[in-house]
Structure 1
């Protein structure tokens, strides 16, 4: 496959820097190539200092309909509540890599940044702050003053996430930054609500919702964390002085109405909700209750003193407890659905504050878990409590308040989604939207084929207040949606046919996901038609965990309100975990922030952060102990400084499409050392130019006679650039980073650079070719690196010639690469034998090669100088004598693949090590390994399935490998004879 890369390096530069570089002549290049101008070692702080400020000052571009080659994307808005975490860093880095790559390909890029008001998260933070500083609740302040405090906090503290993004090197269009509660977004949110309301897609109804009693608000499913409990476990619940025990199953008896001698025992984990039981249910096929099938049976409620029915429903789990379950539809989702099927009314028990409602006189006003013990006492006194035993269960907690979720019936606003969901399904089926990875299509179809109505009411003060008004006249009332109170009055007068009306606006705010679902078009001034200049987006990149909560809802609302899909491609990244695959948690002490990785931090500083979280109420005392223990175990010496580029490169070194991404700080530090390797290679290249009196940028590849190793490294460069291009186009960033690391580390620094030293030292004709090849590889390689590591790439590029147009097909040479790989294998075998036997330079080692045939002689003879440099030997001699090999002439002897055997001669100072294996033993081990490898290949090629399914090229490679192994095995056996 031919790849022609038109490198457009300067599109990534600031205008002032562009003009400076373009004006350089040969003299200027000599100035910039001086080793005095480049630091001796790579220091991330120095390299990254202030570059992000320059990048953020770049003028924004306005997209017009007449221009082509635009690429548009938005940054999923991080919550304005704090600093960037590693999940944000991964997402932002992925998007920045995509945008920088598109700029390299000549696209004009529109990447719009923004932050989310994060209703619940922000309100909780500010409430805690006010309570701690002033001992006041938001109710003490009142809505208006509290909101003023939130805006003040947002303006003072809310910019830290923006600063973090800039420091991460994100090349965002900061002049078009949005906030999800700015005027433009507010207008779009109100209009969207009104239009959906007018179409009958938004309705108000009484339904069961996730409820946080401490927040006194409904919350979304994504804000519910479920913890698994294996038995009796004490949990700290907000508002309670003592821990509450969960993980128990309670068996309670219901007596039959009119037949008190008979009873049915039900099993429940929530005895406090017995007050709201409206029935007992069993499975229709459960033989334990077969005697009740043919007659209507009632049970006597022990607290409401009224009969409730025994009903049969196939949804009942016969394996749970006694097989009989209490039905409390006002506080359980499954019970709610069951009650609807049987046309049963609900009875609410628990208030929005988490207290027992007044109608239950004996327990009125008690907190729900305080009422639990009194209800159990009462049941025991009535001889209805049968058993309490350990039980495994899943306990839902509010992720913000850590309160135990209550399910409560209350009037809320709902979006009817199924019709829009069907359109979203079709958009993926017909390819208008493509999901990456494709495997998420099944989740998409499954979720959206049964899409429940979406509760968008939140009982908060911070957020978009719902634009709905309860209009009342003398005789009637109705809900009206309007963008303003004036519009609401006009609509109400018309619909109620009365001039004398009163209006009351719903105090609730909209779910944050509602406003953020409009972003693909609201940020481009929808409903003005100018939004279509940038809509739909080319790519939406985000975490797979919000595929339904955000991506699907953007698709549904986007298609409904604009008539087109909101984006063409959806790229879903995995969840960042620690090095051991555990979800990052403050209580585990494994949370790592981007800033800690970039700048480094001590163990004490990390412990101080945990202590601060404890003091602010985020971590309990037990969690703090766990955190300290986890920090001590994972980071005993703290975190070393790695720099932004190393962090970005490490994040992209993982398969971002994997479900989980295990981040290891040690790997990040290794990548810092890798970048230092490139830095030192650049210093070597500049020094080489000075040594042969060349200016950087002088000469071209076409006008020089290149050596074999020059051609080899250019072939490796061409292949690497091809891999990078294909990988970036398919979002396989880990393949690109692996190719770059292999090229710079293994091919360029460890091999090619070493082979240039003799030629550059001599200063002859080879030196010029080496210098041009060195600077070309660095320039083009850094250009390919720059989407991942923009800071160091820009820093080093100023010392190198600007990248050229590079047609990879002119430089790719697979035959040469195969040949050099064989030579490198021989060099590795020589180095390993030297290392095992502690042969050093002081022993004056000389290598003698014994080729297997004339073809091997021709190959080996071309690389003797390179092999001398790579094996660190005084000389490499190709023996052409036809006399038998005498092992006694050499200190060490072994084979090196199918091309040759070799001996190492030394001076008299060398003595074979007393400990360890002898040369004969090592050759025996090698023989054993080669024989096993040969058996594997023989087994594979003899398999009938392999012969039928493998391509001709694959079969040929396998048979060639067999021949090579047989030759080497023969040679080792000859050595042993």
Structure 2
């Protein structure tokens, strides 16, 4: 019996696609064809040289793909600095070291994604890429976290266990959190060179920090002084400006302050009187800080305020210290604020501190480090500061000095680490003189040595650095780099104390001996003790770009990879980190630490709110990658509450926020979809909104790419690709490919990631998948040479697009590249991440803008047909279509694309003419297409009565259900009595019914329009 070759082929194809048969089954069947049929197999267009490749999985599985490839990349050494030639350029970055305080959030994911896109892009261009990972010890944040853990688990404080044991506890914490953070970065696909991983408290880093400190000290830039600092009474440490949150209180507001059982009142302005000496008159002043009255040293008025001119130079009686203080004139006073007279308390106000220095006033501290009033505040010494506020107010009333209170807008400084109200205290601290370093940092922008993107932040840069203040670098903590300063004095001579900067006790003793002029044999009599304070975390972080490469040693890595090519980070730490890196980097190495700074915005939720645990809108990148239920999200918030990170009221708001934002939890999206979503918005915007729904759509885009590659794989496996006899549509998609490659090149050179992702999505989703792929299906079923040309075009577009997409979606592109690259003859790279990135010049010859414009006109016909079918609900599978254009040339052009239009619009016969037959004027619906064409679909004979009857019945049922639900929810007591989950269920049901009714109304409207046409 003779086999029917074509029937055999399609039978095998059916078995392969629908019954789980492998390609081996297909080849077995074809072997039978060869054996028992006289027809040549080549007539089928089937490749006899098809490579042996594993079966293509039918469905895109992000979890499976993303769990397998990262270890292989690392094992193969793809993340290490390598180049294709000895003359290749280098590209170096450091990952802003995340704090070892917990897990990474979406802000970290954005940073890692942006940097990884750039690292992969430069690597594919053949450059030697060095991307260094690291973690920051985060002094205050980590100490606070470990103290909370210690108290929660063992009811112990750090003072209970001592400094040495506490440091051991912190190191345990560090190892646990570092492991989690490392796993998260790997999950994000960050192609970091893990062999270079750095922790800011490692011995080499600590040694470099000491070296930098000593150089600054010996250069006269570090000094010790008593000055006003941000002080946390709970932490009992100075804190940096970035750790102070300024909360605006617009009216009388109660705040929960750590250490107080009752909430503390803010937002109230108190007026009280100072009695003028030798006179019965008084000056009434206004204050929001009643508890600091014992520290008042003067009353200030504006020199131009006529109300107080007669009291210039007078003195008033301090009611608690029982001494006189002066009335001074200063233009800082706002005559319209309060009474126009203000109290001056320089030891507890940054503004008053400057006033006191201008007028040479004394500075009296009345609040101690623990937040208690001290002996200078008698009779209130020993009271908590906010308890004293209430008592002092009562005393003012009793002394007949109280003059009333009113609500007032107040800015309350709050410690972001402890939630405590920040005090401004006078403390002896170590400072860095930043004036000259700040001037040079500002000049680096002005002279072009450094560039900031976006350039709008240059103004901020100059404002800060041109007016920079000295930097307080000492912290009263146990976790961090001990300040390498030693107090030295001869035994018995405690009055002569020297501060010495040294690398060790031995060196400190030697230096002190030289300064004291002692003989060598007396050096051993010098007593030495190191300062117990530690350095501000930002100090060691500022050294990070060069210490990671071995500084202070002049290593090969330092000379090759420093200065860095780019520093990418959030704009919120432009001054606290970036400016300080430039200042210290320039001072220590003589070079600006990087050539360019790219600043990204702050991640917000879908409606533009900053992410906050108390709002329930914080999104863990792992939850987006792997998915999580609403119950899972709630458990995380409950854990934060139990750990003391949220109050009970914040817990309730967070749970409610999660139910509103994520009623069905967060769907599993995968890493590639998350990365693509993060890059799809303009990352340099001040705020970046992140929508989980957009991420889910990008997961669908991943599936679209997967299915397209699966189709291409099938086509190229079956039909030998060749470049001859390219069809018009082949040339069109190659032109669009050339356009995409050019747009990608420009976008990535300018670091405009949203433009790059838009170009990729337009090409892959709209042009390649939705248009070109569909036009190849009839061709691939033919036995002509056009099938081979389509096969070649499909493969070239696929491989090029995968390489272009790879930096953004590294996991799926690696999997698809491995499967598809084997279909092309020649030598290829082992991984897509080291394959050459597409270059515009490689595809420029295929760019044909005339052809693109030509197809745009044709495609407008396709879109017009689709709009008509949707608008008039035309369900006929193959409707008859007329295309009318009064230009003969345009008619001929459209006629050449008839098969394409039929395929893409899924319509029947298409008639193209310069005018519409009169008989169809009342039997068709019309839509304009392009500049001069009109499209008409024949609808004569369509019966809409049955459809209208069915819709009417369904409409009545849904209306009845909606009325029932509205009646339930409008009953008295429903909102207060029905459980919240029941109300949520009812709300969703009502929304669903209203949406269904709206769809039916639109359907009815389309049938009415169709009836009008038919009649």
Question: TM-score if structure 2 supplies the norm length?
Answer: 0.84
Query: Partner residue of 2:287?
Result: 268
Matches within 5 A, 1:828-977: 828-842=863-877, 844-879=878-913, 885-888=918-921, 890-905=923-938, 908-909=941-942, 911=944
Question: Structure 1 residues 319 and 105, CA, compared in 2 at 3 Å: closer, same or farther?
Answer: same
Contact 1:837 1:913 (C-alpha < 8 Å) held by counterparts? no
Q: How far apart, in 2, do the equivalents of 1:30 and 1:326 lie?
A: 87
The reply to whether residue 152 of structure 1 matches residue 172 of structure 2 is yes
Matches within 5 A, 1:547-566: 547-566=574-593
Q: What is the deviation of 1:66?
A: 7.1
Q: How far apart, in 1, do the equivalents of 2:700 and 2:179 lie?
A: 32
Query: Partner residue of 1:22?
Result: none
Q: What is the deviation of 1:772?
A: 1.4
Q: How far apart, in 2, do the equivalents of 1:893 and 1:593 lie?
A: 51
Query: Partner residue of 2:390?
Result: 373
For the residue of structure 2 that corresponds to 1:363, the secondary structure is coil
Query: Partner residue of 2:52?
Result: 31
Query: Partner residue of 1:927?
Result: none
Question: Structure 1 residues 893 and 153, CA, compared in 2 at 3 Å: closer, same or farther?
Answer: closer
Consecutive unaligned residues in structure 1, runs of 5 or more: 1-25, 917-974
Q: Tell me which of 776, 779, 794 is aligned to 2:796.
A: 776
Q: What is the deviation of 1:760?
A: 1.3
The reply to whether residue 823 of structure 1 matches residue 858 of structure 2 is yes
Q: What is the deviation of 1:395?
A: 0.9
Deviations 1:674-698 (A, max 9, x none): 11111111112122234xx22xxx5
Contact 2:488 2:528 (C-alpha < 8 Å) held by counterparts? yes
Q: What is the deviation of 1:534?
A: 1.6
Query: Partner residue of 2:690?
Result: 663
Query: Partner residue of 1:49?
Result: 67
Query: Partner residue of 1:632?
Result: 659
The reply to whether residue 725 of structure 1 matches residue 752 of structure 2 is no
Deviations 1:204-245 (A, max 9, x none): 000000011000001110111111111111111011111111
Matches within 5 A, 1:341-356: 341-356=358-373
Question: Structure 1 residues 724 and 910, CA, compared in 2 at 3 Å: closer, same or farther?
Answer: farther
Q: How far apart, in 2, do the equivalents of 1:234 and 1:733 lie?
A: 45
Question: Structure 1 residues 234 and 888, CA, compared in 2 at 3 Å: closer, same or farther?
Answer: same
For the residue of structure 2 that corresponds to 1:310, the secondary structure is strand
Query: Partner residue of 2:529?
Result: 504
Contact 2:920 2:938 (C-alpha < 8 Å) held by counterparts? no
Q: How far apart, in 2, do the equivalents of 1:358 and 1:79 lie?
A: 40
Deviations 1:243-262 (A, max 9, x none): 11111111011001222x11
Q: How far apart, in 2, do the equivalents of 1:389 and 1:733 lie?
A: 52
Q: Tell me which of 501, 507, 514 is aligned to 2:539.
A: 514
Question: Structure 1 residues 623 and 883, CA, compared in 2 at 3 Å: closer, same or farther?
Answer: closer
Contact 2:88 2:126 (C-alpha < 8 Å) held by counterparts? no
Query: Partner residue of 2:721?
Result: 699
The reply to whether residue 92 of structure 1 matches residue 112 of structure 2 is yes
Deviations 1:313-348 (A, max 9, x none): 001122211111111110100000010000111000
Q: How far apart, in 1, do the equivalents of 2:86 and 2:468 lie?
A: 40
Q: What is the deviation of 1:28?
A: 8.6
Q: What is the deviation of 1:883?
A: 8.2
Q: What is the deviation of 1:376?
A: 0.9
Q: What is the deviation of 1:68?
A: 3.6
Q: How far apart, in 2, do the equivalents of 1:594 and 1:539 lie?
A: 25
Matches within 5 A, 1:196-275: 196-259=216-279, 261-275=280-294
Matches within 5 A, 1:489-500: 489-498=509-518, 499=522, 500=525
Q: How far apart, in 2, do the equivalents of 1:561 and 1:894 lie?
A: 71
Deviations 1:583-630 (A, max 9, x none): 000111111110111011111111111111111111101111111111
Q: How far apart, in 2, do the equivalents of 1:116 and 1:47 lie?
A: 31
Deviations 1:362-410 (A, max 9, x none): 2111111011111111111111111111111111111110000000100
Question: Structure 1 residues 28 and 152, CA, compared in 2 at 3 Å: closer, same or farther?
Answer: farther
Query: Partner residue of 2:761?
Result: 741
Q: How far apart, in 2, do the equivalents of 1:360 and 1:433 lie?
A: 51
Deviations 1:86-136 (A, max 9, x none): 000000100000000001111010000000000011101111111111111
Question: Structure 1 residues 28 and 405, CA, compared in 2 at 3 Å: closer, same or farther?
Answer: farther
Query: Partner residue of 1:588?
Result: 615
The reply to whether residue 283 of structure 1 matches residue 302 of structure 2 is yes
Consecutive unaligned residues in structure 2, runs of 5 or more: 1-46, 822-827, 829-834, 950-1012
For the residue of structure 2 that corresponds to 1:815, the secondary structure is helix
Question: Structure 1 residues 859 and 66, CA, compared in 2 at 3 Å: closer, same or farther?
Answer: closer
Q: How far apart, in 1, do the equivalents of 2:697 and 2:805 lie?
A: 16
Contact 2:924 2:940 (C-alpha < 8 Å) held by counterparts? no
Matches within 5 A, 1:54-69: 54-59=72-77, 61=80, 68-69=88-89
Q: How far apart, in 1, do the equivalents of 2:331 and 2:86 lie?
A: 62
Q: What is the deviation of 1:169?
A: 0.0
Q: How far apart, in 1, do the equivalents of 2:51 and 2:122 lie?
A: 32
Query: Partner residue of 1:612?
Result: 639
For the residue of structure 2 that corresponds to 1:373, the secondary structure is helix
Matches within 5 A, 1:432-471: 432-471=449-488
Question: Structure 1 residues 313 and 915, CA, compared in 2 at 3 Å: closer, same or farther?
Answer: farther
Q: How far apart, in 2, do the equivalents of 1:813 and 1:781 lie?
A: 19
Contact 1:476 1:496 (C-alpha < 8 Å) held by counterparts? no
The reply to whether residue 174 of structure 1 matches residue 194 of structure 2 is yes
Q: How far apart, in 2, do the equivalents of 1:482 and 1:215 lie?
A: 28
Q: What is the deviation of 1:646?
A: 0.4
The reply to whether residue 649 of structure 1 matches residue 676 of structure 2 is yes
Deviations 1:533-558 (A, max 9, x none): 22100000000010100000000001
Contact 2:251 2:409 (C-alpha < 8 Å) held by counterparts? yes
Question: Structure 1 residues 763 and 212, CA, compared in 2 at 3 Å: closer, same or farther?
Answer: farther
Deviations 1:174-206 (A, max 9, x none): 011000000111011000000100011000000
Question: Structure 1 residues 258 and 832, CA, compared in 2 at 3 Å: closer, same or farther?
Answer: same
Q: Tell me which of 103, 106, 126 is aligned to 2:123.
A: 103
Question: Structure 1 residues 555 and 58, CA, compared in 2 at 3 Å: closer, same or farther?
Answer: farther
Question: Structure 1 residues 793 and 29, CA, compared in 2 at 3 Å: closer, same or farther?
Answer: farther
Matches within 5 A, 1:563-578: 563-578=590-605
Contact 1:339 1:345 (C-alpha < 8 Å) held by counterparts? yes
Query: Partner residue of 1:535?
Result: 562
Question: Structure 1 residues 516 and 63, CA, compared in 2 at 3 Å: closer, same or farther?
Answer: farther
Indicate the larger mover: 745-754 or 324-333.
745-754
Query: Partner residue of 1:162?
Result: 182
Question: Structure 1 residues 822 and 699, CA, compared in 2 at 3 Å: closer, same or farther?
Answer: same
Question: Structure 1 residues 170 and 62, CA, compared in 2 at 3 Å: closer, same or farther?
Answer: closer
Matches within 5 A, 1:769-808: 769-801=789-821, 807-808=842-843
Query: Partner residue of 1:972?
Result: none
Contact 2:884 2:916 (C-alpha < 8 Å) held by counterparts? no
Query: Partner residue of 1:523?
Result: 548
Q: How far apart, in 2, do the equivalents of 1:391 and 1:183 lie?
A: 51
Query: Partner residue of 1:579?
Result: 606
Question: TM-score if structure 1 supplies the norm length?
Answer: 0.88
Contact 1:558 1:565 (C-alpha < 8 Å) held by counterparts? yes
The reply to whether residue 334 of structure 1 matches residue 359 of structure 2 is no
Question: Structure 1 residues 68 and 683, CA, compared in 2 at 3 Å: closer, same or farther?
Answer: closer
Q: Tell me which of 821, 842, 845 is aligned to 1:810.
A: 845
Question: Structure 1 residues 58 and 444, CA, compared in 2 at 3 Å: closer, same or farther?
Answer: farther
Q: What is the deviation of 1:476?
A: 1.7
Query: Partner residue of 1:939?
Result: none
